[in-house]
Structure 1
Amino acid sequence: MKTKLNDLLAFIAIAEELSFTRAAARLSVSQSALSHTIKGLEERLGLRLLTRTTRSVALTEIGQKLYNSVAPRLVEIEDELDSLNALKDSPGGTIKISTAEHAARKVLWPKIVKFMHQHPKINVELSIDYSLTDIVANKFDAGIRLGESVEKDMIAVNISSALRMAVVATPNYFAKYGEPSTPKELASHNCINMRLPTYGRLLVWDFEKDDHEINVRVEGQFTANKSTFIREAALDGLGVAYVPEDMILEDVAAGRLKRVLDAWCDSFPGYYLYFPNRSHYSPAFSLFVEAMRSE
């Protein structure tokens, strides 16, 4: 009895999508052809791999075992095939990256533009997301996180210098409500909060001065989940914002925003490109990593 590789690929697509419709679209085949393939695979194996209803698809216990056994091996085969691209003079392919908006705008984008001009056959796909995405489960080649957030089993490459946060508001706001001289005084101010998508909680404002750390939970009228909106809210006079320093330097220089508590805003490790530890990487991805590496 021989099982065709395409049959296993069809089964894996359904196992991961849990939908014949999405799996068929992923494989660029019709649903009827996909159903016929799975039926033939089950008949040859003499095993039921999927439980199907009119509304859902689920793996049987045997189906789950088959997926756990076969899927990682096919990933290894794909990695080996990708390594053959090293024989080509001009590497190609698509690199999928998961990143937060600030890292994408301030760190990645200038490097990516230069990289794509240098390598016109390599495509780059950015997914902007503040949650701590599982890059393996979601089939990303790499992700971008602050150094302190990178999982220990990942390879991490530094792609930026150290970062600092800044506490800002409009000059009119501080003229009306006064300037805080210590982080604790922020409790009496209208602060603009950030909601962290991964945990659902509000960002804690961290400060440090002379080895003395203070964590402040602030309150205010407006909350957002993206730094760009928090900056806009500060510019519109809605309160005090806590944002990456490089987002507001021009606003401070132009007098649109005023910075306070600067001595309390210590630097911290910057962004890292992280990815799974594998035996082989495609030439395109290796080139991308080196292009993103911090000078």
Structure 2
Amino acid sequence: MAREQFNDLLWFLAVAEERSFTRAAARIGISQSTLSHTIKRLETRMGVLLLNRTTRNVAPTEAGERLQQSLTPRIAEIEAEMASIMEYRDKPAGRVRLTMSDHALHTVVWPKLRDVLAEYPDIKVEFSVDSAFRNIVDSGFDAGIRLGESVENDMIAVKIGPDWRLVAVASPAYLAARGTPLHPKDLIGHNCIGIRQISAGGMYAWEFGKDGTELRVRVDGQLTFSGSYEMVDAAAKGYGIAYVPEDIVADRVAAGDLVVVLDDWSQPFPGYYLYYPSRRQSLPAFRVVVEALRQR
């Protein structure tokens, strides 16, 4: 196979994984028009349509899915072998792609990696901030970072952060005007600031627990976000009650900008874990990242 034909397959795989010519082109570092022309050339050479294209999204055809499933493990084997050969270098090198939430990035991942990566300039790390529960293999990631209770059973999981909890907070002005909820069910009558679960497409149902009783409350309100930090700001400005990680509101609670409600119903749960398929553990650059993140 000619070298340019092998590149065509790699670029097809990028589009199939990203489900977008725009994101795939940015990932590869080429123009969108060049990528589109290359995929059309590949389809012409193979004599089959590999991608269904609409104005809004891109998805593999049946033939495209078969090609993607065939290519993914083979490319992974080549990458693993190349990375293993890099062990002969003085320092580890390579690219590591991680997917995580904004909270995980700001509170655990970046604080632990920023100093370590300064020692390894040949290790390149891509941080993809996304609250969706992705299949990291199909999406082309080396590892994902999620709460322990969300990690798939067939993955290797490494704890990277302490246990923590979500707390319900609101501004003093909001509580003075609307009253303070004393039971999770009281939230139904309040203006709650929601967060959408991107992978499921629905709103996150707030989870509470006390004395062995567990409750899930589907709240409603004027505002919905995809990240916790925007929710905190909206709550501080009086837009309603937000259910957010305790560590990111501690300063505002101490300052009196926010008040914690239903404190005794907010229980701790397993913190963040790095999860990945077994084939990644032997790669030098990846091992550096894992050891830097590992909870001591």
TM-score by length of 2: 0.83
Residues 44-63 of structure 1 aligned to structure 2 (within 5 Å) = 48-51=46-49
How far apart, CA to CA, are the structure 2 residues paired with 1:223 and 1:28?
35
How far apart, CA to CA, are the structure 2 residues paired with 1:153 and 1:9?
31
Alpha-carbon offset, residue 7 of structure 1: 3.5
Alpha-carbon offset, residue 159 of structure 1: 0.7
How far apart, CA to CA, are the structure 1 residues paired with 2:15 and 2:2?
20
Partner AA of 1:10 in structure 2: D
Native 8 Å contact 1:98 1:129 kept in 2: yes
Residues 58-207 of structure 1 aligned to structure 2 (within 5 Å) = 68-69=69-70, 71-207=72-208
How far apart, CA to CA, are the structure 1 residues paired with 2:204 and 2:39?
47
The corresponding residue for 2:277 is: 276
How far apart, CA to CA, are the structure 1 residues paired with 2:279 and 2:161?
24
How far apart, CA to CA, are the structure 2 residues paired with 1:76 and 1:122?
19
Native 8 Å contact 2:83 2:94 kept in 1: no
Alpha-carbon offset, residue 74 of structure 1: 3.5
How far apart, CA to CA, are the structure 2 residues paired with 1:77 and 1:94?
14
The answer to which of 113-122 and 202-211 deviates more is: 113-122
Cα 1:74–1:211 shift into 2, 3 Å? same
Equivalent residue of 1:202, what SS? coil
How far apart, CA to CA, are the structure 1 residues paired with 2:66 and 2:258?
58
Equivalent residue of 2:192, what SS? coil
The corresponding residue for 2:225 is: 224
Alpha-carbon displacement from aligned partner over 1:243-271 (angstroms, at most 9, x marks no partner): 11011000010111111111110000111
Cα 1:35–1:271 shift into 2, 3 Å? closer
1:13 aligns with one of 7, 11, 14? 11
What are the ranges of 5 or more consecutive residues in structure 2 without an aligned counterpart?
none
How far apart, CA to CA, are the structure 2 residues paired with 1:181 and 1:279?
48
Residues 198-277 of structure 1 aligned to structure 2 (within 5 Å) = 198-277=199-278
Aligned residues: 285
TM-score by length of 1: 0.83
Equivalent residue of 1:278, what SS? helix
How far apart, CA to CA, are the structure 2 residues paired with 1:63 and 1:266?
45
Equivalent residue of 2:279, what SS? coil
Alpha-carbon offset, residue 72 of structure 1: 2.2
Cα 1:63–1:180 shift into 2, 3 Å? closer
Alpha-carbon offset, residue 223 of structure 1: 1.7
How far apart, CA to CA, are the structure 2 residues paired with 1:58 and 1:210?
47
How far apart, CA to CA, are the structure 2 residues paired with 1:31 and 1:241?
43
How far apart, CA to CA, are the structure 2 residues paired with 1:172 and 1:65?
57
Alpha-carbon offset, residue 124 of structure 1: 1.5
Native 8 Å contact 1:153 1:277 kept in 2: no
How far apart, CA to CA, are the structure 1 residues paired with 2:92 and 2:109?
21
How far apart, CA to CA, are the structure 2 residues paired with 1:277 and 1:175?
53
Cα 1:13–1:246 shift into 2, 3 Å? same
The answer to which of 247-256 and 168-177 deviates more is: 168-177
How far apart, CA to CA, are the structure 2 residues paired with 1:209 and 1:191?
21
Q: Percent identity?
A: 42
Alpha-carbon offset, residue 290 of structure 1: 0.6
What are the ranges of 5 or more consecutive residues in structure 1 without an aligned counterpart?
43-47
How far apart, CA to CA, are the structure 1 residues paired with 2:212 and 2:150?
22
Native 8 Å contact 1:50 1:58 kept in 2: no
Native 8 Å contact 1:15 1:59 kept in 2: no
